A and B are shown apart, each in its own frame.
Chain A
Amino acid sequence: MISELERREFLKLGLAITGVFAGGTLLSVVSQFDRVFASIDEYKHNYPYKPHYCMVIQQDRCIDCERCKKACAETNHVPEYGYRTTILERYVPDAVGQKREFIPVLCMQCNNPPCVRACPVKATYKDKNNGIVMMNYDKCIGCKTCISACPYNARYFDEERHAVDKCNFCFDTRISKGEKLTACAAICPAGVRIFGDLSNPDDRVFKIVHQLQVPVWVLRPEVGTKPNVFYTKGLKGVV
């Protein structure tokens, strides 16, 4: 959510604090902090797409029933050997109480997508209107460079189509036909997947991403992809 410039400013600030204010009061740090962060109001006018489709995943509610996988495969004709969305499992044997958690993953519809940069024939591209990372199956030469470029393992090679396939938030099968939700979000019995428009302040996803009570994060932020799929926990009763 923080632009590259702001990040740099923030890091510079951190250096300034340790260099100049080492041994100073915490108050001075807080007051500096305030100056650096842009306001939410500023953000909402600056989303690059309209609508800016995104998904928030309530990770603590996923129970791996995999109805999303099934609904996705049926809606988008995903073959057995591939997936557009799947559920990862994390096992922590020495955790207190619950020892396992399930993490739904799909294409993160990155604002800075490595797959688009990698494609030699521009078969995959960022949609100018809604920000979805789309596939042009006719252009795809099946070189699979995008598959290895994707840090989220969100792409597979469709043998029948002889092209790479990936999640497009059900744009061709549902959203462009007037449906409000992706197939996976519509079928989820636990309300894990919240699909919406991040550029709309009235949308639940906007409210979730811009609140400060529970943490919201993205996967692998260090690769600089700026994903549009967010993760959260403990949202119940907050938004």
Chain B
Amino acid sequence: MKRELLSMVMVALLLLSVSGSAEEIKNPGDIVYTFPVKAVLFSHYSHVKKASIQCDTCHPAIFKTKALAVESYPDFNMQALYDGKYCGACHNGGYAFSSDTQCARCHIGVKGANMYGEEIGKIKDMSYYMPKNTTVLGEGMYAASFNHNVHNVFECDTCHTSIFSFSYTPGEITMAKISEGKYCGECHNGEMAFASTNCVACHSGLSER
């Protein structure tokens, strides 16, 4: 009996360890800047998951939604940060640790950059931060579903924030506007994606809820 119990525990532990390692996503959405110095790490995980900051706190007012876009700005340097721009908007010693302290907290250097290897310049696994299930916009008969997972072949800046802001205002999106080629209609025009006349593709089954 004792031996059986022991083996059961062992098997359980083994399963736990296997499933644990398989599901682990390590720091999804990391961005490694290599300009003007090599290299600086921005962690979406620390900001979104640990500090619970919403997307629209930074995007697009402080940073464009396109990863690394800020590298092309000539004033993307420490002085700009001290003047309250970019990271310095929060990292001023008030909201977050001041940008003139703890240099190597963000600066991971050449050694850090080498650890990221070919992943530098690519932002991966942002879907980790998106709603996992279908998002329902609107209520009752107007309700429509949207699934980020179906759309995550695109970069964030394909839709945000030129087509959609990060927050949804009820009544903002109407079928009339979509037929005019706005909102979903930008792509769902029958050419790039299925036409917006295909009602049930988004409005199906929601009345049962």
Contacts and interface: CB of A to CB of B under 8 A. Distances in A.
Interface of A: 60-67, 87, 89, 97-102, 189-190, 236
28 contacts: A61-B103, A62-B103, A62-B104, A63-B37, A63-B103, A63-B109, A64-B110, A64-B111, A64-B112, A65-B37, A65-B109, A65-B110, A66-B38, A66-B110, A87-B110, A89-B109, A89-B111, A97-B97, A97-B102, A97-B105, A98-B102, A98-B104, A98-B105, A99-B105, A100-B108, A102-B104, A102-B109, A189-B37
B83 to A, nearest CB: 17
Greatest chain B CB density within 10 A among A64, A66, A67, A100 is at A64
Give the size range of B's interface with the partner.
Answer: 10 to 19
Contacts of B102: 97-98
Given A63-B37, A65-B37, A66-B38, A87 B104 contact: no
Interface of B: 37-38, 97, 100, 102-105, 107-112
Nearest to B37: A65
Nearest to A99: B105
Q: What are the 10 tightest A-B residue pairs by CB atom distance, in nearest-first order?
A: A64-B109, A63-B107, A98-B105, A98-B102, A66-B110, A65-B37, A100-B104, A63-B103, A101-B104, A89-B111
Contacts of A97: 97, 102, 105
A167 to B, nearest CB: 19
Contacts of A87: 109-111
Contacts of A99: 105
Greatest chain A CB density within 10 A among B100, B104, B110, B112 is at B104
Contacts of A61: 103
Contacts of B109: 63-66, 87, 89, 102
B111 to A, nearest CB: 6
A62 B111 CA distance: 13
A100 B110 CA distance: 13
Given A65-B37, A66-B110, A100-B108, A60 B103 contact: yes
